[in-house]
Amino acid sequence: MSTVTVFGFISIPETDLEAVLQALPEHIKLTLAEPGCLTFSVSPSSIDPRRYEVYEEFVDQQAFDYHQQRTLASEWAKVSKNVSRFYQGTVDD
């Protein structure tokens, strides 16, 4: 099995900050409940109040793909549509 790891940060527009932060706990809860999710964290940055550090791991590509599909159809996708995402990823055998 190849673990998929994604890390980086999101930058939330000031105008969307309140709504995104309100929706974030549910997004985290739903992601952690997904089959194959090993870890998923979104933490405030000490650099910028609109920046949040993201770290996620999935057991394999299939689990990560499921996460991507679920997220596209979620309330989170609507609320966070203006969020800028800066991610890198690795696949470890």
Query: Please, which pLDDT band fits residue 23 given cuts at 50, 70 and 90?
Result: very high
Overall average pLDDT of the 47-64 stretch: 97
Q: What is the mean pLDDT of the chain?
A: 97
Overall average pLDDT of the 60-75 stretch: 97
Residue 39 buriedness (CB in 10 A; 0-12 / 13-18 / 19+): exposed
Structural domain containing residue 77: 3-92
- Cut 0.85: pTM above it: yes
**Residue with structure tokens 């997220």?**
71
Give me the CATH number covering residue 74. 3.30.70.100
Query: Please, which pLDDT band fits residue 49 given cuts at 50, 70 and 90?
Result: very high
Query: Please, which pLDDT band fits residue 93 given cuts at 50, 70 and 90?
Result: confident
Tally of structural domains, the chain: 1
